[in-house]
Chains A and B, each alone.
Chain A
Amino acid sequence: MELLNAFILLSNFVLVPAIAYGSQLALGALGVTLIYGILRFSNFAHGDTMAFGAMVTILFTWWFQSMGISIDPLPTALLALPFGILCCIGFVLATDRIVYRFYRRQKAAPVIFLIASMGVMFVTNGIVRFIIGPNDQQFADGERFIVKARTFKQMTGLEEGLSFKVSQGITVVTAILVVIALFWFLNRTRTGKSMRAYSDNEDLALLSGINPDKVVMVAWIIAATLATIAGTLYGLDKSFKPFTYLQLLLPIFAAAIVGGLGSPIGAIAGGFVIAFSEIMVTYAYKKFIAYLVPESWEPDTLVQLLSTDYKFAVSFMILLLVLLFRPTGIFAGKSV
């Protein structure tokens, strides 16, 4: 019984949150890795693209809420998501047209693209804060929990409760569906294959008659879609605040690099590696250990390796280790 309690405790505070967070990071990292594979630069604006997409989704959500449209028990945001995606695609394509296309014509070095993307990042961040404000925004509605901690305790008679939020469930399900759709697209469709070919060997792709403009456009469309989905899911799960997305950039890039830049499977694996390490390192294990050891051995401290304030240090450490010992990432993408 003690063992089971310990396991439930860990599931509730580590396993479930980490899976949800990992899914969000994976979706974000997929967008980064895709742009890296096709356009060959690290898109620093991706975090704020997520914020932009989520913001539009939130505005639509509020509008729907004010009109009384809802899909209870699911959050209204899901209904608004397609509109958010469309607007985000429009925004990203406009950015490409105004900023990146110029540098593509110049055949600029990747580092110039990277700097340009930082500019785009600041501008996007400014736009988002200008429109929706810098503060926390609440937009989640509908049912909050799939399983409540109290119900779980009553059901099982255990001391520890396991709660499973609707937002977490939606996150995981959506992530799985999106990843399946993406892999189907990349591996089975003509356009998807041509994108992989372009990412693999640009010159040969051109010789084969693959249209680079189309490949680039589709890459942006997919990246914007993934960013909006990831941003909205993150906002539903935690809360929406423009600056949070700027900070999310680090774990997302860490995930993409750990998995191997340019490798979609790597991005997913990397997302979960980062999420699990971040949450496991910052979790206080005192209660967990108390369940497993005799009472007299119970630790006096929290047994927390790192304060949650320092959670970003975890991504940094993993990033550092990977770059030192396996620069191409787990799934051998392109070296950075």
Chain B
Amino acid sequence: MSYLSASNMTGGYGRGADILHDCTIEAAEGEIAVIVGPNGAGKSTAMKAVFGMLNLRKGSVTLDGEDITRLTPQDRVAKGMAFVPQTSNVFPSMSVEENLEMGAFLRRDNINGTMEQVYELFPILKEKRRQNAGELSGGQRQQVAVGRALMTQPKLLMLDEPTAGVSPIVMDELFDRIIEVARTGISILMVEQNARQALNIADKGYVLVQGRNRFTDTGEALMNDPEVRKSFLGG
């Protein structure tokens, strides 16, 4: 049984039409699962469904064997999920350090150790910890966003297009960091535009088309699948 198991999710935003149809996404402990697919395939929506941000008409989400389908996003954070939205994912007028503190808002214990770990992972943040997050570059801001999410000591980290709008060099570095995070035993669920690079680091890949699972396999297998290559990876 996977650590995260979201099965047969069907639903959409509010009372609108269904966007997801029988969509299943799983991630084992310490595993990197990547959702790829064309624009409008429902990638981000699938991730938001896992996080409880839309109404599921069918299907269920379990975390570590516990059914969390009915929980609000806030309650899921308390259960060990962390979510990094694609945009506006930092508190711009607060310092880097305060951003991390806010990430740990629910925790009542000492957070200094976790903060030190985040600084180890992203050394640049330590350097800029007194600076406002809004004044940082795009790549640094993404690091703050990921760092903020890690402050709750999550078991599952969800990243919505973490490399959107950052340069290729920064992108490679971010991916390296994400692998490092996964090595510490945190499961990672990630939506990515840069399908090729993302599948390269993925243990498991999901190709969604129109809200349905089209291909599901290991990242490597998907990379080698001629049909996937032709349709989604540009040959």
Contact = CB atoms under 8 A, between A and B. Distances in A.
B78 interface: yes
B74 A205 contact: no
A209 interface: yes
Contacts of A206: 73-74
Contact of A193 (B98, B106, B148): B98
B88 interface: yes
Interface in A160-217: 190, 193-194, 196-197, 200-201, 203-210
B38 interface: no
Contacts of A204: 85, 88-91, 148
A226 to B, nearest CB: 21
B74 A196 contact: no
Nearest to A263: B93
A209 B148 CA distance: 12
B83 interface: yes
A306 B148 CA distance: 54
Interface size class of B (residues with CB under 8 A): 20 to 34
Contacts of A200: 91-94
Contacts of A201: 88, 90-92
Closest 8 CB pairs of A and B: A209-B106, A200-B91, A197-B102, A208-B105, A197-B91, A209-B105, A208-B102, A201-B91
Interface centre among A204, A205, A206, A210 (most CB of B within 10 A): A204
A259 B66 CA distance: 50
Given A194-B105, A196-B91, A209-B152, 11 more contacts: A193-B94, A194-B102, A197-B94, A200-B91, A200-B92, A201-B91, A201-B92, A204-B89, A205-B102, A207-B73, A208-B102
Q: Report whether over half of chain A's contact residues are helix, strand or loop; otherwise say mixed.
A: helix
B118 to A, nearest CB: 14
Interface string B71-109: 001100110000101001111111000100111011000
B211 to A, nearest CB: 23
B106 to A, nearest CB: 4
B78 A209 contact: yes
Contacts of B85: 203-204, 207
Contact of A208 (B77, B88, B92, B93): B77
10 contacts: A196-B93, A200-B93, A201-B91, A206-B73, A207-B73, A207-B85, A208-B148, A209-B74, A209-B77, A209-B78
Contacts of B74: 206-207, 209
Interface centre among A193, A207, A210 (most CB of B within 10 A): A207
Interface centre among A193, A196, A206, A208 (most CB of B within 10 A): A208
Contact of A210 (B92, B93, B98, B102): B102
A308 to B, nearest CB: 39
A53 to B, nearest CB: 29
B73 A196 contact: no
A207 B152 CA distance: 11
B94 A207 contact: no
Nearest to A333: B93
Contacts of B152: 209
Contacts of B77: 207-209
A207 B77 CA distance: 7
Contacts of A197: 91, 94, 98, 102, 105
A57 B109 CA distance: 42
Contacts of B93: 196, 200
Interface string B49-86: 00000000000000000000000011001100001010
Contacts of B102: 193-194, 197, 205, 208, 210
B98 to A, nearest CB: 6
A331 to B, nearest CB: 10
Contacts of B89: 204
Contacts of A205: 91, 102
A196 B94 contact: yes
Contacts of A203: 85, 88
